[in-house]
Chain A
């Protein structure tokens, strides 16, 4: 009964929002407001970038491997503290909350993910992951931007939990939208003067040229901000998230998802992983923050019955070098592990083999055995149910980590 009332209220709100806009919203905006909800299904994708390059070897530790301990005399994780998962791999003790998800069968760990000729610059490697390009190719659209452009058709199809938009959400003429706080986004679009400009606007004469493009973007931005704010406003999370900015980003994401916003993809970056010096304590805190927040996030979604429709991918732009440096830290490396969290995993626990520390590349870094674009292709095809080749510009072999 309560649920019904709530649903009705939400439905009503949506309807009334739409109605009140009708007076001045141009036709093409009205057209896009109804697209995503119906045509695209209800599966959501949340992507988390551990920005700076997380040290995967001290996250998922090969505790039976002498090579690991020999290369890291002062920063290796002692076997006694490790949360063992298999007879050779275990979690850093700060990932206890993640172990709970692992035990429930909600986590799949894919080892050795990367791409040919890895780039060790944060900027460039992030570009490569965000655009799904080859390492010697420069693309000016992101893979999620291309998805939004081809299938979403509205800026709010993709939301980045930040105040400015990354390349990942940029398409050619349609982009996602960035916001950490829907109220701020909404009020920024509501200044009286903009209102005045837009209130008078009819789209009859808007051209395809740059001026038309500016007006179209402005109208869509305003409409998206309003939709995101008014919809997410109907639900406020009851979970207690860790009191830090990453927890806050996830809380906002949960509110978006649980208010049934029709957005499909969310992007969150968590900073701080560039541990060149004194890595041990820094990474401990980071992993703790990450896993605590993730556990609450999953719980929040579960309680609202949205977890079954949400897939969460965690990656870092590169892993770190096997051999520690002189400052008790690690330098930029290559292949790394990726976490997939969801309810419908085909292969729970470890998806593939542990990294081969005896067979490194020319820089003495871990070699990749799985191309990250195979993960994208799998998600696009099996989860979001769209044509992955159209988005990735070529065909990648698919994996079977999701049903």
Chain B
């Protein structure tokens, strides 16, 4: 397989790859390389923090426990939990830098922006995150059903407030609008009827699903022209009978993995495959093995998400963040904080990552984390902040991101290669003619400096 195609594959199905790995793969066939990506994905590797400090909650009678807690204690517990969610954010980013299965992690990141969810209860959101990971290449039907029963989702879209006689339609609406069919492909009546089918869906303290029978509406519902005593699982089955569901998911897959501009013929091809059995792995195998995936028009045309950018840089030069909080600051300034989506519609992606401010920040990111550059921009305060805290971030003027860079690792891998080769491996997009001329005239001292320079041109923003 040629170098450019391997790089393209690894940028889309993962977060890029280093020179050594590339040299190992170059003699292998496409079939071999792609198969290996799926082979790696076979073992489930959950992402787990040490949550033993919360064990006492799971091991005790929760009613008694929470009743016995005063406001202060409860607040302290919430604070602890939120802190752990931030730790999960760091752990997730760290995982993406060097995963055992690069494809599975990329799929997990993708699904997190389809089944968008947010929860400050760490033991629920960690489980949710691993549910994404577990089903990332599995069967879409099982996946949707698992999501619908997950405690974090249940809370996020108010499904626990959805009870017989007084349905809350939030989950039913987003299930169709954002998770499966897309806006306009169902009626308001479909929402009303399906919301009834999800009434009484709840979860036990350990997170397992249970039906509050007295809150569930066992009556007859009419949904997409079918009438029956449907429960939530039946509703999901009926949704998946709609070809539109397969098409909706395939269009998300296409714009994420192939090209931000949809090719209708290709979308049709994918929809037909996916609609047969909703097997995500089959679909992805078809895409990554196809010839058209490697067409020039699909290479280097996607704008990296802030996370792809941040992880990508660290795949070339390993970096350790000495002040963890600064990792959060970087995500905030670029507009993507993992586990903290703006709303249930998630991040729009592509061009919407870019405005004057984020682009300048993104272009400066390599110098910030690799070259001790200083930045004097502040993050926005939060809604919960007091007036003083809201603006307190001012104290961090002239920010300096404290990192430990493993240039020795970089040098071992890249010192000996020519600048031309380095350019080829770092930048996949065609380079603008004028910038190309600029690079040509640049006096290159060493590959370390050249690496930072290459990462600072607009082309590096693409993958």
Chain A residues proximal to chain B, CB less than 8 Å: 51-53, 122-124, 126-127, 136, 138, 140, 155, 162-167, 169-170, 172-173, 175-178, 180, 184, 188-189, 191, 193-194, 196-197, 200-202, 205-206, 209-211, 213-215, 217-218, 220-221, 224-225, 244-246, 269-272, 274, 282, 285-286, 289, 327
Residue of B whose beta carbon sits closest to that of A178: B357
| Count, chain B residues at interface, CB 8 A | 60
Of the stretches B7-15, B54-62, B373-381, the one at the interface is B373-381
The 8 residue pairs across chains A and B that have the minimum distance between CB atoms: A271-B390, A272-B387, A221-B356, A122-B383, A175-B355, A245-B391, A138-B345, A163-B377
B331 to chain A, nearest CB (A): 11
Query: Given A136-B173, A138-B345, A191-B364, do A214 and B377 touch, yes or no (CB 8 Å)?
Result: no
> Which residues of B325-351 have CB atoms within 8 Å of chain A's CB atoms?
332-333, 335, 342-345, 348, 350-351
Instruction: Say whether, besides A197-B438, A197-B457, A210-B302, A215 and B432 are in contact (CB < 8 Å).
Output: yes
Chain A residues with CB under 8 A of B71: 327
A272 and B385 form a contact (CB under 8 A): yes
In angstroms, Cα B349 to Cα A172, docked, is: 11
Q: What's the least CB distance linking B248 to chain A, in Å?
A: 15
Contacts of A126 in B (CB 8 A): 383
Contact A221 B378 (CB under 8 A): no
Contacts of A211 in B (CB 8 A): 301, 429-430, 432, 458-459, 462
Partner of B357, one of A165, A193, A215, A244: A165
> Which chain B residue shows the least CB distance to A209?
B301
The answer on a CB contact under 8 Å between A271 and B432 is no
Q: Are B355 and A217 in contact (CB under 8 A)?
A: yes
Inter-subunit contact B458/A184 (CB<8 Å): no
Name 29 A/B residue pairs within 8 A (Cβ), A-sorted: A51-B390, A52-B385, A124-B343, A126-B383, A164-B358, A164-B377, A164-B380, A165-B358, A169-B355, A173-B351, A175-B356, A177-B357, A197-B438, A197-B458, A210-B351, A211-B301, A211-B462, A213-B351, A214-B458, A217-B354, A218-B360, A218-B458, A220-B356, A221-B360, A246-B387, A271-B390, A272-B388, A274-B383, A327-B71
Chain B nearest Cβ from A118, distance in angstroms: 14
CA–CA, A122 to B383, complex, Å? 7
- In the complex the two chains form, is B342's CB within 8 Å of A127's CB? yes
Whether A274 contacts B384 by the Cβ 8 Å rule is yes
> Is B323 positioned at the interface, with any CB of A under 8 Å from its CB?
no
Minimal beta-carbon separation of B355 from chain A (angstroms): 4
The answer to whether A164 and B335 touch (CB under 8 A), given A172-B351, A188-B377, A211-B432, is yes
Q: Which residue of A lies closest to B377 (CB)?
A: A163
Q: Which one of B363, B387, B453, B462 contacts A210 once the chains associate, using CB atoms below 8 Å? A: B462
Kindly identify, within residues 388 to 415 of chain B, every residue whose CB is under 8 Å from any CB belonging to chain A. Answer: 388-391, 394
Q: A170-B352, A282-B386 are in contact. Are A200 and B438 (CB under 8 A)?
A: yes
A140 in contact with B432 (CB, 8 Å): no
* A164 close to B333 (CB less than 8 A): yes
Residues from chain A with a CB closer than 8 A to the CB of B435 are: 197, 200-201
Binary contact readout B421-438 vs A (1 if CB under 8 angstroms, 0 otherwise): 000000001101111011
Q: Across the interface, do B303 and A138 meet the contact criterion of CB distance under 8 Å?
A: no
Most chain A CB atoms below 10 A, which of B301, B364, B386: B386
> A271's contact among B387, B458, B459, B461, by CB below 8 Å, is which?
B387
**CB-CB < 8 A to B360: which residues of A?**
188-189, 218, 221
Q: Are B364 and A188 in contact (CB under 8 A)?
A: yes
Residues of B within 8 A of A (CB): 71, 173, 178, 260, 301-303, 332-333, 335, 342-345, 348, 350-352, 354-360, 363-364, 375-391, 394, 429-430, 432-435, 437-438, 453, 456-459, 461-462
B387–A289 contact, CB under 8 A? yes
CA distance A63 to B391 in the complex (A): 33
Query: Closest B-chain residue to A191, C-beta based?
Result: B364
A140 touches B348 (CB 8 A): yes
State whether B378 touches A163 (Cβ < 8 A).
yes
Q: Which residue of B lies closest to A201 (CB)?
A: B434
* A188 interface neighbour in B375, B429, B453, B458, Cβ under 8 Å: B375
Q: Which residue, of B357, B377, B390, has the highest number of chain A Cβ atoms within 10 A?
A: B357
- Distance from A336 Cβ to chain B, minimum over Cβ atoms (Å): 15
List of B residues within 8 angstroms of A189 by Cβ: 360
A177 to B364, CA, bound (A): 17
Given A164-B335, A164-B377, A205-B432, does the pair A177, B356 have CB atoms closer than 8 Å?
Answer: yes
> Which chain A positions have C-beta within 8 A of B432?
201, 205-206, 211, 215
Q: How far is the CA of A126 from the CA of B343 in the complex (A)?
A: 11
Task: Chain B residues near A127: list those with CB within 8 A.
Answer: 342-343
A51 contact from B173, B359, B383, Cβ within 8 A: B383
A193 touches B456 (CB 8 A): yes
Q: In whole angstroms, how far apart are the Cα atoms of A5 and B457 in the complex?
A: 43
Q: Which residues of B contact A201 (CB under 8 A)?
A: 432, 434-435
B394 to chain A, nearest CB (A): 7
CB-CB < 8 A to A215: which residues of B?
A: 432, 458
Query: CB distance A200 to B437 under 8 Å?
Result: yes
Are A271's CB and B344's CB within 8 A? no
Nearest opposing residue in chain B for A205, CB measure: B433
Q: How far is the CA of A298 from the CA of B457 in the complex (A)?
A: 44
Interface centre among A52, A53, A282, A289 (most CB of B within 10 A): A52
Given contact pairs A123-B342, A210-B260, A164 touches B387 in the complex (Cβ within 8 A)? no
Complex alpha-carbon distance, A51 and B381, angstroms: 10
Determine which residue in B348, B350, B352 has the highest number of CB atoms from chain A within 10 A of its CB, and name it. B352
- In whole Å, how far is A381's beta carbon from the nearest beta carbon of chain B? 27
Question: Are the C-beta atoms of B357 and A163 separated by less than 8 Å?
Answer: yes
Whether B356 lies near A155 (C-beta < 8 A) is yes
A155 cross-chain contacts in B, Cβ below 8 A: 355-356
Residue ID in chain B nearest A162 by CB atoms: B380
